[in-house]
A = this chain, B = another copy of it.
C-alpha cells in the first residue's frame, strides 16, 4: 500500500539537507532560501567553516528561520544517525560502482517510499565534494544530469534542483502543457464551430473585397492553418466573428 500524504501536512519534514564542511557562508544562506522556497525546513550543517554569519543571513533573504533552527554536527555519522535512507550528491564517477539516482528518481525514493523513512540528502564541500569514506555511508549516490564538460553546479543551485523535484513529487503538478487556448475558463472551439467560422471568414473576405469568389484557395488554407494552430476557445471565436460581422456591415454601409 502506498504511503498517502495528508495535503496540508508538512510533506517533506522527514527529509533533511546535510551540508558537509561548507566553505562559503553565502552558500549556506542560499541553500536555506532554496529549501524554504520548496517548503523544506530541516537543514543540518556538518563542521561549517563559518557559521552563523551575516553573509549567510543576507543570502537567505527571509529564510533565516531555517538557519536559526539548523542542526550543527561535528561529523557526518552524527548527522545521519537517525536516517534510514541516505543519499549523497556526487559529480564524480567512483571506481566501485554504487547505486545511482538522478533528482527525479531521488524524489521518488524519498517521497513515495513506504513506510515513510527519515532521509538525509548530503552535499559535500564546494571544491571537492564528498570524500570516499563519506560516500560509503550512502545508500544511493545522487547525480544531477548536466553538461559532461562543465558539471559542477553551485551547491545552492544543486539543492534548488533537488528540493524542486521533491516539491513536484509531493504536489500534483501537471506534466503536460494545456493547449494555448485552454485557460480553463471556457471550452475550446469544436470542429463544427471552426468550420462555421471559416465559412464566415471566407464570406467576409469576399464581402470586403479581399478575395474573389472561387479563387484564392491557397490563402484560405493558410488562414486555416493559422487559426487551427492557436486552438481558439469559444469566447475568442465570438470575438473574431464579431470583428468579421463589423467589417461586413462597414462594407455594406459604404
* Nearest residue, chain B, Cβ from A181: B99
Q: Which of A16-34 contact B (CB under 8 A)?
A: 30, 33-34
Question: By the criterion CB–CB under 8 Å, are A36 and B168 in contact?
Answer: no
| A195-225 contact mask (Cβ, 8 Å, vs B): 1 or 0 | 0000000000000000000000000000000
Cβ contacts under 8 Å, A178 to chain B: 99
Of A43-51, A74-82, A100-108, the one touching chain B: A100-108
* Nearest residue, chain B, Cβ from A59: B154
Known: A34-B157, A37-B151, A183-B98. A146 touches B167 (CB 8 A): yes
Per the bound structure, the CA–CA distance linking A63 and B184 in Å amounts to: 41
Known pairs A30-B154, A39-B147, A156-B157; list 6 more (Cβ under 8 Å).
A33-B153, A37-B151, A104-B175, A108-B177, A140-B180, A145-B168
Q: How large is the interface on A (under 10, 10 to 19, 20 to 34, 35 or more residues)?
A: 35 or more
Per the bound structure, the CA–CA distance linking A164 and B151 in Å amounts to: 12
**Closest-CB distance, A107 to chain B (whole angstroms):** 10
Per the bound structure, the CA–CA distance linking A144 and B36 in Å amounts to: 14
Question: By the criterion CB–CB under 8 Å, are A154 and B34 in contact?
Answer: yes
Per the bound structure, the CA–CA distance linking A181 and B98 in Å amounts to: 9
Per the bound structure, the CA–CA distance linking A39 and B181 in Å amounts to: 32
Per the bound structure, the CA–CA distance linking A33 and B62 in Å amounts to: 24
Question: By the criterion CB–CB under 8 Å, are A99 and B180 in contact?
Answer: yes
A-B contact list, 11 entries, CB within 8 Å: A34-B154, A36-B147, A38-B147, A97-B183, A99-B181, A99-B183, A103-B164, A105-B177, A108-B175, A145-B168, A160-B160
Q: Does A173 reach chain B (CB closer than 8 Å)?
A: yes
Per the bound structure, the CA–CA distance linking A124 and B6 in Å amounts to: 35
Per the bound structure, the CA–CA distance linking A101 and B140 in Å amounts to: 32
Cβ contacts under 8 Å, A144 to chain B: 164
Cβ contacts under 8 Å, A98 to chain B: 183
User: A185's contact among B63, B97, B108, B145, by CB below 8 Å, is which?
Assistant: B97
Question: By the criterion CB–CB under 8 Å, are B102 and A174 in contact?
Answer: yes
